[in-house]
């Protein structure tokens, strides 16, 4: 049995199906969207090797044929060259305005293929079949698509909502443990930003979830997707509240940049460390109780995640340089850094009212630990 979260965005509304073994019945779920029984599926090499056959069989069961393109795995694929490759390939396959493109992979494939679908013939529909925990709880829902350029991450893109999302929780079983935990960083983020009861639940269920408990995985993905959907529906193009989803990201993006977007620090790991720093800053500014950052840190540590700057291998730049990297974040408005801070677990808010000296002091201490 799968769960369904509806994303009620008017003409752009869609369903997110969440449950084990959805690949096998993908054909039945996609068929109502199709004007002819064929789709173009784009994936990465890791996901394709493990799961493409299950997906294409699931489509074939309903008489749907799939043309497939397999790209290299990794963040480097979210680039202009691969965007061109995707769009040209889709045109080679004679994908028409009424056809559907399938993004089958983690957040990298989802963002790239979603953007290709957004610009192909001025916009064709696409379906997200997210295969990483991060993609299931975050990037496949909400319609942000795009690529990285030499100027930074996600600087070129479009809002383009998928027509359907199939989050098959069984495929999470083949994720490397480190990739799973990086995605868990985003799950914890939802509890921290807006749902204290969910954070309590994660403190209890997190270890079972990481060990592979299917029901716990479905529930964690469902609650995360529901929260993201609720926020996206109220603020689709991030004029206000959607920025809350960036809890931990201002610090996290600076750390990702400082480590060269490399294996030294995965995106979700940066978010988790960034959440701890955001709660530390909130406590220092007297916004939340002093013991709250310790509780956040304790849960992440119990899950075996990176928590502090010293958990990142190799040298980091000094506090001044990290602050400068934070200044390049997309969330800078008129030169002022915007932070997501919290009055407690589940009570985050957006503010531009943070003294640079407080951030510097926090970073200096965090680096000295
Ligand atoms: P990813 O797509 O690179 O996947 C991580 C790794 O896991 C890759 O090596 C991939 O091949 C592998 N993988 C994926 N599914 C697998 C499976 N089931 N079994 C085995 N291996 C599997 O990265 P990610 O962490 O999924 O996503 C990160 C990207 O998402 C970043 O580019 C980030 O900017 C983007 N993102 C976008 C949004 C959004 O709203 N659009 C939100 C958050 C993050």
pLDDT given for residue 332 in this prediction: 60
For ligand 1, is residue 174 a contact (CB within 6 Å)?
yes
Nearest-angstrom CA–CA distance, 145 and 336: 25
Nearest-angstrom CA–CA distance, 200 and 264: 30
Strand 152-159 vs strand 144-149: parallel, antiparallel, or unpaired? antiparallel
For ligand 1, is residue 140 a contact (CB within 6 Å)?
no
For ligand 1, is residue 141 a contact (CB within 6 Å)?
no
Pocket probe mutation, ligand 1, options 129, 134, 174, max atoms within 8 Å of Cβ: 134
Q: Which residues pair with 165 in a beta bridge?
A: 16, 128
Per-residue pLDDT tens over the stretch 75-122: 999 999 999 999 999 999 999 999 999 999 999 999 999 999 999 999
Q: 119, exposed or middle or buried, with CB in 10 Å at 0-12, 13-18, 19+?
A: middle
Q: Which of 328, 15, 279, 354 is nearest to 167 (CA)?
A: 15
In sequence order, what are the residues at sequence separation of 6 or more whose Cβ sits closer than 8 angstroms to the Cβ of residue 277?
A: 248, 251, 362, 363, 366
Q: Tell me if 264 sits within 8 A of 357, measured CB to CB.
A: no
Angle at 363 between CA 358 and CA 366, to 5 degrees: 125
With a pLDDT cut of 90, the percent of the chain lying above it is: 89
Read off the tokens for 41: 């599926």
pLDDT given for residue 157 in this prediction: 97
Per-residue pLDDT tens over the stretch 225-235: 999 999 999 99
What is the pLDDT averaged over residues 147-151?
90
With a pLDDT cut of 70, the percent of the chain lying above it is: 98
For ligand 1, is residue 107 a contact (CB within 6 Å)?
yes
In the predicted structure, residue 336 carries a pLDDT above the cut 80: no
Ligand 1 centroid–CA 132 distance in Å is 6
**Does 196 or 263 have the greater pLDDT score?**
196
**Coil vs helix vs strand at 181:** helix
pLDDT given for residue 335 in this prediction: 62
In the predicted structure, residue 311 carries a pLDDT above the cut 60: yes
pTM for the model stands at 0.96
Per-residue pLDDT tens over the stretch 41-65: 999 999 999 999 999 999 999 999 9
Tell me the pLDDT band of 369, cut-offs 50, 70 and 90: confident
Q: Which of 61, 56, 116 is nearest to 83 (CA)?
A: 116
In the predicted structure, residue 261 carries a pLDDT above the cut 90: no
pLDDT given for residue 338 in this prediction: 86
Give the number of the atom of ligand 1 that is nearest the alpha carbon of residue 73: 11
């Amino acid at each position: 049995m799968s769960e369904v979260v509806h994303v009620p965005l008017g003409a752009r509304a869609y369903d997110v199906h969440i449950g084990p073994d959805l690949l096998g019945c993908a054909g039945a779920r996609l068929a109502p969207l199709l004007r002819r029984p064929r789709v173009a599926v784009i994936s990465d090499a890791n996901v394709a090797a493990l799961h493409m056959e299950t997906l294409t069989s699931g489509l074939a069961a309903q008489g749907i044929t799939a043309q497939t393109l397999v790209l290299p795995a990794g963040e480097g694929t979210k680039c202009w060259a691969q965007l061109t490759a995707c769009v040209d390939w889709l045109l080679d396959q004679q994908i028409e305005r009424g056809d559907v493109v399938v993004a089958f992979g983690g957040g990298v494939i989802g963002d790239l293929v979603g953007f290709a679908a957004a610009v192909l013939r001025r916009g064709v529909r696409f379906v997200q079949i997210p295969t990483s925990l991060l993609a299931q709880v975050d990037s496949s829902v909400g319609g942000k698509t795009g690529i990285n350029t030499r100027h930074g991450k996600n600087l070129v893109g479009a809002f383009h909502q998928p027509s359907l999302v199939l989050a098959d929780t069984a495929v999470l079983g083949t994720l490397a443990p480190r990739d799973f935990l990086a995605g868990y960083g985003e799950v914890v983020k939802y509890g921290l930003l807006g749902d204290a009861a969910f954070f309590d639940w994660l403190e209890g269920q997190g270890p079972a979830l990481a060990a592979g408990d299917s029901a716990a995985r479905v529930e964690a993905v469902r609650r995360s997707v529901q929260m993201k959907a609720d926020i996206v529906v109220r603020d689709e193009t991030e004029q206000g509240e959607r920025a809350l989803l960036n809890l931990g990201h201002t610090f996290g993006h600076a750390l990702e940049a400082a480590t060269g977007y490399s294996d030294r620090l995965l995106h979700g790991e940066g978010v988790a460390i960034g959440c701890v720093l955001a709660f530390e800053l909130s406590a220092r500014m007297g916004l939340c109780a002093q013991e709250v950052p310790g509780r956040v840190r304790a849960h992440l540590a119990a899950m075996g995640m990176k928590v502090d700057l010293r958990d990142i291998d190799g040298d980091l730049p000094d506090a001044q340089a990290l602050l400068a990297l934070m200044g390049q974040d997309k969330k800078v408005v008129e030169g002022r850094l915007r932070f997501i801070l919290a009055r407690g677990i589940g009570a985050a808010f957006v503010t531009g009212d943070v003294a640079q000296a407080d951030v510097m002091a926090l970073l200096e201490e965090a680096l000295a630990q």
